[in-house]
């Protein structure tokens, strides 16, 4: 509909209007960012533990 609010999604540092049904993708992107925000410290801690271990050739 013409009176639907315009949703802007950032892609490659440019903002472009997208159809309303893609709002879901913007929401998913926010959720993904939130997941990374919580998991990155865990990933970092695991990487530090790995660094302390002798090379096992498992990766």
Contacts 24+ apart (CB under 8 A), 7-11: none
Between 22 and 28, the more confident residue is 28
Check residue 20 and give its pLDDT: 62
Q: Where are the beta strands (DSSP E) in 1-59?
A: 7-11, 14-18
**39 in a structural domain:** yes
Phi-psi bin for 4: left (phi > 0), alpha (psi -120 to 50), beta?
A: beta
Between 7 and 59, the more confident residue is 7
pLDDT in tens, 23-55: 788 888 888 989 888 899 899 999 999 998 877
Check residue 16 and give its pLDDT: 66
**43 in a structural domain:** yes
Check residue 45 and give its pLDDT: 92
- How many domains, the chain? 1
**56 in a structural domain:** no
For residue 26, the enclosing domain spans 7-51
**57 in a structural domain:** no
Q: Is the per-residue pLDDT at 2 higher than 80?
A: no
Residue 11, C-beta contacts closer than 8 angstroms, at least 6 positions apart: none
**59 in a structural domain:** no
């Amino acid at each position: 509909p013409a009176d639907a609010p315009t949703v802007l999604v950032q892609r490659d540092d440019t903002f472009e209007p997208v159809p309303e049904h893609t709002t879901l993708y913007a929401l998913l992107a926010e959720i993904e960012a939130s997941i990374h925000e919580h998991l990155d410290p865990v990933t970092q801690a695991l990487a530090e533990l790995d660094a302390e271990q002798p090379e096992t050739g498992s990766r």
